[in-house]
Structures are given as C-alpha cells and as structure tokens.
Amino acid sequence: MTRLTPGAEAVLAAQSPGRPFEDMTAAEARAAFDRGWPELQEPAASGLADGPLPLSLAGRPALAWRGTGAPDAGAPVILYLHGGGWVVGSPASHAAICQRLAAATGAVVVCPDYRLAPEHPFPAAIEDALACLAALPGVAGELGVDPGRVLVAGDSAGGNLAAVAALASVRDPALPRVSAQLLFYPNTDATQGADSYTRFAEGFGLSAATMRWFRDQYVSHDRLEDWRVSPLLAERAMLAEAPAAFIALAEADILHDEGAAYADALGAAGAKVTCRTWHGELHGFLSHCRHSPAAFDAIAEAADWLRRLG
C-alpha cells in the first residue's frame, strides 16, 4: 500500500471537498481551480533577476522570468507549458513553478497562455505550443536568449504538450531544435489503460473520473492514438530522435505508469532519458510547494540534470 508523505497528506486535507470538475462546466471548473491553487503555492523567495515580463508570443499572451544566473544575452530559454488537463490553468497559476525553474537553472522561462478546451479542442493547444516555439527566435533579442539553446518543459497536460513539441522539433524545419525536455508527471497515453488508473482511481487528488473528463473535453475518441495526443504511441523512429529527457513522476498518481512507460519507450528507442519517481507524492506536487518539499527537490534535480547534460 502506498504511504503518502506528510506534505501529500496536508495537500489532501487542504483541498476542498466540493464538487468534482466532471460535475461542472468548464467555466465553473476554471473558477474553482483559480480559487484553490493559491492555497497550495507560494512565490519563489530568491533567484530571480526580474519578472514576470509580459510579452506576446505568436499572438498569445505570455509571461517570462529570468533567473539570476542567466546572462544578459545568450541565455538558455525554456518554453514552459502549464498543466490543467487542457481545460484549466494559466501562466498565473503556474508562476511559482516557472519562478523556481528560472531560479534553479539560470535560464529565461517563458510560459504562454495557450487556448483551452472544450472551446478550443485538439489540436488547438498543441498548435499554439508549436507556434510559440517557432516564435521564440523572433523575441530572442528582447529576452536576451540564444535561439540555439531552446528547451521545453511542462507538467501534466503541459508535459504532454512539451513532449509532443520536443518530438515535432526534430522533424519540422520551421521549429527551433529543442535541446532537452523536462516532463513533470506528463500525460503520454490518452487511452488511459495503465494500471495506475486503477491503483489510484480515487482518494489521491486527481481521480480517474476527472482525468477522463479532462481528456474528453480536449479530444475525440477517434483521435486518442494520434501521437500528438499520445506521444507514447509515436513510432519508434520518432522516439529515437527525441531530445534528452528528464521525467519526474509522482508515485500516487493515476499518470505514473504512462509516464514511466514513456521513459522506457524513449530509452528503448535510443534516446537519452532520466526518470525519477517521488515516492508518496501526488499528481501536481510541483504546485504544492506550500506543503511539499518535493516541489523544490524535483526542480533542483531537473536543474542538476541539465548542468550535467551540458
């Protein structure tokens, strides 16, 4: 039986026992999410040179943060794609993660406000993500970044978008080549058949029923095996070309097994991958920094991995 950390227990105790998202409209879910996330987060205390810097990226509003270790020119840039089941979330709700990532890596982290489902179903979110990726070289001077040092990162549904963007970057000459990807408890298989959907179906924060609702707002069932929805199902040859990946997983998470399977598939195809599971943690733990030390540990390990990658 999974034993939760004290931080994870505190998060479950702090979360409201109100209606689940699947019993709400998308607008109601967004309002409930926006009421809840400030109780779990706190801004980074140090390590930021400036930010947030508002900007427009491919016509989408975005926020950027510069870590204190980032040079004034030629800094690495991380395109961060926020989580929220493709339905909720925003750069504001994930600002604390972006701040800590910028501080730990000495990079400029850019988080765009991509279109959300169900008003904008698949492929709107990934189209926005790729358009923002393609637009980064055009704002390189404004941000003081090197268009040749582009990374992607994201959590949950944002991890899905980041994984897809990383794969797309090696095939599409219109995109800057992604040098590395940081995936935090990513969605990788929209068929939702992994065992962890049964082990952690209820009582561990994100439920299997809620995740089904998120998916069904985003994509029709006839597209579930499209690699742009389920990167785990991408052809081996495509996975073999994937940028080096750091994948952070939560043990008590319905998405755990598909994240681990994606790491295994990348490694089997010959891609460079490091996968780490945080035991006793819940889905979304990067956003639980008010309660969970793992929120800081995962960012620190990702930053260390990037430094070793060179």
Q: Show the DSSP H helices in the chain as ranges.
A: 6-14, 26-36, 95-105, 124-135, 140-143, 157-169, 196-199, 208-218, 236-240, 256-269, 294-309
Tell the residue number behind the tokens 């016509």, with chain if given.
59
- From the list 229, 222, 79, the residue with the least C-alpha distance to 139 is 79
Tell the residue number behind the tokens 């681990």, with chain if given.
260
- From the list 134, 62, 66, 120, the residue with the least C-alpha distance to 92 is 62
Q: Active-site positions?
A: 156, 253, 283
Token pair in block for residue 79: 């395109």
Residue 2 is classified by DSSP as -
Are the beta carbons of 265 and 232 closer than 8 angstroms? yes
User: What span, in angstroms and rounded, lies between the C-alpha atoms of 50 and 63?
Assistant: 11
- My answer on whether omega of the bond before 293 falls inside 30° of 0, hence cis, is no
Q: At what angle do helices 95-105 and 294-309 cross, to 10 degrees?
A: 40
Rg (CA), the chain: 18
Strand-strand pairing, 48-57 and 60-67: antiparallel
Beta bridge partners of 153: 80, 182
